[in-house]
Structure 1
Amino acid sequence: MAIELSMAELREVTGYALACAEPLLAIFERDCPDDPRPRAVLDEARRFAAGGKRTKALRVTALEAHRAARAAAEMRYEAAADAARAAGHAGAAAYLHPLAKATQGGHILMSAAHAARALELDVGDDRNVGDEYIEKATGLAGPVVVSVLTRYPPAPRGRGRVGDLWRKLDASLRQLATDR
């Protein structure tokens, strides 16, 4: 089953993912100051969300941000790794597919889930900090983002703590849709 998505909706979703990921760039750049890849994808996502074209550069920089995350993890900068993953997912949000699969919700919410995890790890794995960020991310989601999300099945099981954060945000946004 295909889900209808307009370019304007993809821009809103990308803008939301960008708003969730961008504050965490400081953690990545603190620990990996010579790696420009997460900033590059956020710049590309910002251009797209503001009305630019969905370019190959956006896809490439999203993949590069995930490579930066692997490099940070190899250096044991776990918070920086999740911050870079958040940035990569912000770029990937522009490529949300119109397929009715639960995993597609990750294009919408994984930037927030990884951002929350980065914050947790940055303060010694305090899960309350991540839960608080999920509340903040819930407040950042406008009606278009909520509408798009609810066209997809709920978040799938698994993926450890990041998956827990994703499911918590997914449930919060679905509750917003019900309350409206």
Structure 2
Amino acid sequence: MTDEAPPPLLTEDDLRHITRWAVLCAARALPVFEAAVPGDTRPREAIAAAVAFAEGGPRTAVLRKAAWGAQAATRAVDDPAAKAAARAAIAAAGAPYTHPIETPHQINHVLGPAAYAIQALSIGTADEAAATETELRQLIALASTEIRGIVGKLPGRKPSKGAFHALLYRLDTALRR
């Protein structure tokens, strides 16, 4: 009998897959922020830092600094859609730090970039409900087989109140199919 530790729930490759999907989601929403705050590059820098990790780079202070910069950018804008776009960028830069532990909260880190991007791309549109459905379908379609497998390893979300949490729940259930 050995005392070997079980393998981690999420591997570094898993974190790179999570980050790739987070980048795809956040990049879709980025123009919403940039239209509201031209010249503020902090969310773009956060996404670029996430891309560097997704492409094989190490987790460094650059990622954290970029995420904090995007967080500051959310305070620089009053537009809810632009705030959501900046939050998608924050979540993309934070994706490499998703904890490899089996708790219900961790799924939020995997799904958060998509949920924020959906909000960014649907808030304030002529038909928010239709825009939300369209974006939800598109971001689910962008989820790789690996993302679906990672979601399946983590405890699922339970339904909860609020539009953002409803998006997380819908993303979670859709990716488990």
TM over 0.5: yes
Higher helix share: 1
TM-score (ref. length: structure 1)? 0.89
> Which structure 2 residue ranges, 5 or more long, are not aligned?
1-5
Distance in 2, Cα, partners of 1:23 & 1:158: 26
State the match for 1:68 in structure 2. Answer: 73
- Indicate conservation of the 8 Å contact 2:118/2:135, yes or no: yes
State the match for 2:123 in structure 1. Answer: 121
Distance in 2, Cα, partners of 1:112 & 1:122: 18
State the match for 1:132 in structure 2. Answer: 134
Tell me the number of residue pairs that the alignment of Structure 1 and Structure 2 aligns. Answer: 172
State the match for 2:152 in structure 1. Answer: 150
% identical aligned pairs: 34
- Indicate conservation of the 8 Å contact 1:120/1:130, yes or no: yes
Show the 5 A alignment for 1:54-93. Answer: 54-72=59-77, 76-93=78-95
- Indicate conservation of the 8 Å contact 2:18/2:110, yes or no: yes
Match of 1:103 among 63, 81, 105: 105
Match of 1:141 among 132, 135, 143: 143
Distance in 2, Cα, partners of 1:32 & 1:159: 30
The alignment yields a C-alpha RMSD, in angstroms, of 1.8
Structure 2 SS opposite 1:102: coil
Shift of 1:2: 8.1
- Indicate conservation of the 8 Å contact 1:17/1:89, yes or no: yes
TM-score (ref. length: structure 2)? 0.90
> Which structure 1 residue ranges, 5 or more long, are not aligned?
176-180
Q: Which has the larger radius of gyration?
A: 2
